[in-house]
Amino acid sequence: MASTAPPKDQTLVRCPDHHPNGRAVPYAAAVAPAGDGEAVLCGSKGCEKPGLIWTTREAWNLYEKGERVFYPRTFAISIKAGERVHVAPSSA
């Protein structure tokens, strides 16, 4: 399937103990990675817990249209989201 993936964005992976505070980037939603989620870990230094994919509102809008691949600000990896939404954006 051809991807309409967004360009590298502010996608961040953090476990529930290290949710982004939203001060630097306004994260809107968090979804679990595809699969069992155990292979994608929190990026917080020293943390090895399974992480959630945090997206901006722009990336969330693409997720709602079916996009599942997200691109953190590195060329080292891309991440595929699953269907489990942990934090949905507020309607504000």
Provide the minimum distance between the beta carbon of 50 and Zn ion in the complex, in angstroms, as a whole number: 9
Q: What's CA 7's distance to the chain center, in Å?
A: 14
State which residue, 13 or 59, has the beta carbon closest to Zn ion.
Answer: 13
The answer to the question of residue 44 lying near Zn ion (CB under 5 A) is yes
Question: 47, 57, 58, 64: which one contacts Zn ion (CB under 5 A)?
Answer: 47
State which residue, 8 or 49, has the beta carbon closest to Zn ion.
Answer: 49
| 54 burial via Cβ count (<10 Å: 0-12, 13-18, 19+) | buried
Q: Which residues ranging from 10 to 39 are in contact with Zn ion (CB under 5 A)?
A: 15, 17-18
State which residue, 5 or 87, has the beta carbon closest to Zn ion.
Answer: 87
Nearest residue to 59 via CA among 2, 11, 4, 3: 11
Q: How many residues bind Zn ion (CB under 5 A)?
A: 7
Nearest residue to 10 via CA among 72, 64, 88: 72
